[in-house]
Amino acid sequence: MDLEVDVLVVGAGPTGLFAAYYAGFRDLSVALVDSLPEAGGQITAMYPEKLIFDVAGFPAVRGRDLVAALVRQADRWQPTYLLGRQARTLSTVDDGLEVGLADGGVVRTRAVLVTAGIGEFRPRPLPAGDGWLGRGVVHFVPALGAHAGQDVVVVGGGDSAFDWALALHPIAASVTVVHRRATFRAHPPTVRQVRELGVPIITDAEVLELRGDGRVAEVEVAVKGGDRAVLPAQTVVAALGFTADLGPIGTWGVELDHRAIVVDSTMRTARDRVYAAGDVAQYPGKVKLIATGFGEAATAVNNIAVRLDPGAHLFPGHSSSAE
């Protein structure tokens, strides 16, 4: 037995981190497991430098800073982090549950709260980038400073592509966006901002080849109509979207609605002692926002507290009364 806790939170994104805080507030021991190597979920992996504007109390907060604050908040109760470890199996044992991890570890818990977001996500590869990953080709930009003074080519037409272009423009030697269509999926105001900065945007274009001695040095692009261009590039950001699924969680005996877990008003799933919150949870009228996930995390943990101790009060009291 690797670990025994009252609540195992599966997913260490914003909802999971807040759930860890709230579990501690309810005097429940808690651990978080996540297949990603760092806490923060999609925010850490995909847009740590992006400003988020719809978190209550913050006119604007950078993704990285929000995650750091959530970690500090949860740390008050000293949760256990099992990062870079995938939750694979779930079984009922006596009056609790056992979660088997992909590396052979086992967690014994009295309840599970799934806060897995969109599930496990895998970036779509850049066809011409085969063999170049880690040698100049990246899917995410966790640290902007690593690309200071570089020529950067961003491939894609969605929000991530234009967010990276906007964030990298002040520090990179050059930024160029390459997209295979003439229209974009990105938020129009962000596209407008990138255009107004003078960032070159090459549309109806395909990346043909990456070249360099050991690392990427240049990118050859074919434009509709037959024209070709060779762009200097020490970094190529392949922002082509991703595929996602629930992975092993989908076999845990919960009711699924497409790639989401169906819950009731207490955030309880179809399986006893298993709850879900955040983007992974589904019910009529659901709105997928970070702010929504925070409220669902509190609802789930308070109902878990009552499930584990029927004599406990659902309402935990106000945190401002706690020392």
Q: Is the four-CA dihedral 160, 142, 17, 269 of positive or negative sign?
A: positive
- Is position 78 annotated in a ligand binding site? no
- Is position 34 annotated in a ligand binding site? yes
Q: Which amino acid is at 138?
A: V
- Are the beta carbons of 312 and 23 closer than 8 angstroms? no
In 42-61, which positions are buried (b, 16+ CB within 10 angstroms) versus exposed (e)?
Answer: bbbbbbbbbebeebeeeeeb
Alpha-carbon span 259 to 166, nearest angstrom: 31
**CA-based nearest residue to 22, from 264, 306, 300, 273:** 300
- Is position 42 annotated in a ligand binding site? yes
Q: What angle do CA 146, 147, 151 make, to 5 degrees?
A: 160
Alpha-carbon span 149 to 220, nearest angstrom: 21
- Is position 174 annotated in a ligand binding site? no
- Are the beta carbons of 20 and 74 closer than 8 angstroms? yes
Torsion of CA 313, 12, 274, 276, to 10 degrees: 80
**CA-based nearest residue to 146, from 166, 161, 168, 126:** 168
- Is position 257 annotated in a ligand binding site? no
In 97-122, which positions are buried (b, 16+ CB within 10 angstroms) versus exposed (e)?
Answer: bbbbbeeebebbbbbbbbbbbbbbbe
CB atoms within 10 A of CB 5: 20
- Is position 275 annotated in a ligand binding site? no
245 torsion bin: left (phi>0), alpha (psi -120 to 50), beta (else): beta
- Are the beta carbons of 14 and 74 closer than 8 angstroms? no
- Is position 47 annotated in a ligand binding site? yes
- Is position 238 annotated in a ligand binding site? no
* Residue set of the binding site: 15, 34, 42, 47, 87, 121, 279, 320
* Residue set of the binding site for FAD: 15, 34, 42, 47, 87, 121, 279, 320
